[in-house]
């Protein structure tokens, strides 16, 4: 069976390594006798619908480039909530592409309750995302009261990204191409265009 692996970590600053998931997923593929044909890796929040390699995976699924997609857990696949997560699963099903959650193999034997279970896990993933956001905001508020400024660094302050952005713009690349190459969203590219040019 031709299989693709989808891996996601939330941060691209080097603090989270997708290799931790990839190593076990590749070993699992080999153990099952599956033919690994593609690996898709995103460094982005699971709540975002514009994850570059997730979109590429779904497009390749529509072209039947593989028969099955393997991911670490449902919250690595999507944290966009019930509707979006079920829509992605139904989309894969409509392409006749199977899916396998490494950490949640019981989905395979859930039968008619499969969508119910996926809905429950999508809800838990969405709630966890909300809790993480609340903890982050609380931490930032506390830091401000102590006179420290926190938060994510602005992309336009990253000299490496700015340099690559200028080179790609000069080369005539489109917004989408630049976003893919820099692993940032097209919206962020538009922001860079306004700020830098």
Got the DSSP string for 78-146?
--S-HHHHHHHHHHHHHTT-EEEETT-GGGGG-GGGHHHHHHHHHHHHHHHHHHHHHHHHHHHHHHHHT
DSSP state of 42: E
pLDDT in the model for residue 109: 46
Side-chain half-sphere CA neighbours of 161 within 13 A: 21
Compute the CA torsion angle 87, 92, 93, 95 (nearest 10 deg): 130
Which residue has 């602005």 as its token pair?
Answer: 154
pLDDT in the model for residue 136: 57
- Regarding the domain with residue range 2-124, which homologous superfamily does it belong to in the CATH classification? Resolvase, N-terminal catalytic domain (3.40.50.1390)
CA pair distance 124, 137, nearest whole angstrom: 20
For residue 93, pLDDT over 80 is answered with yes
pLDDT in the model for residue 131: 58
pLDDT in the model for residue 153: 62
Contact 42, 54 (CB under 8 A): yes
Nearest Cα residue to 10 out of 106, 157, 88, 125: 125
Dmax over CA atoms of the chain, in Å, equals: 57
Compute the CA torsion angle 24, 76, 54, 112 (nearest 10 deg): 100
pLDDT in the model for residue 4: 97
Tell me which of 4 and 117 has the higher pLDDT: 4
pLDDT in the model for residue 110: 42
pLDDT, tens digit, for every residue of 159-179? 888 888 888 888 888 888 888
Q: In the predicted model, what is the mean pLDDT of residues 12-29? A: 84
pLDDT, tens digit, for every residue of 30-82? 999 999 999 999 988 877 778 999 999 999 999 999 999 999 988 888 888 77
pLDDT, tens digit, for every residue of 111-155? 454 554 555 555 555 545 555 555 655 666 666 677 665 555 667
CA pair distance 108, 105, nearest whole angstrom: 6
Nearest Cα residue to 69 out of 5, 118, 1: 5
pLDDT in the model for residue 137: 58
Domain ranges of the chain: 2-124, 155-196
């Amino acid at each position: 069976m031709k299989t693709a692996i989808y891996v996601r970590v939330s941060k691209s600053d080097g603090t989270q390594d997708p290799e931790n998931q990839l190593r076990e997923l590749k070993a699992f593929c080999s153990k099952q006798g599956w033919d690994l044909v593609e690996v898709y890796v995103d460094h982005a929040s699971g709540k975002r619908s514009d994850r570059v390699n997730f979109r590429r995976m779904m497009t390749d699924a529509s072209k039947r480039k593989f028969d099955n997609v393997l991911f670490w857990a449902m919250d690595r696949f999507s944290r966009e909530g019930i509707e979006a997560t079920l829509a992605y699963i139904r989309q894969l099903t409509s392409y006749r592409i199977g899916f396998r959650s490494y950490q949640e193999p019981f989905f395979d034997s859930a039968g008619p309750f499969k969508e119910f279970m996926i809905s429950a896990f999508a809800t838990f993933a969405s709630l966890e995302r909300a809790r993480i956001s609340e903890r982050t905001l609380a931490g930032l508020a506390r830091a401000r009261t102590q006179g420290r400024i926190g938060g994510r660094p602005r992309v336009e302050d990253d000299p490496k990204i700015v340099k690559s952005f200028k080179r790609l713009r000069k080369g005539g690349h489109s917004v989408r191409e630049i976003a893919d190459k820099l692993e940032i969203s097209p919206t962020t590219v538009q922001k860079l265009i306004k700020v830098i040019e």
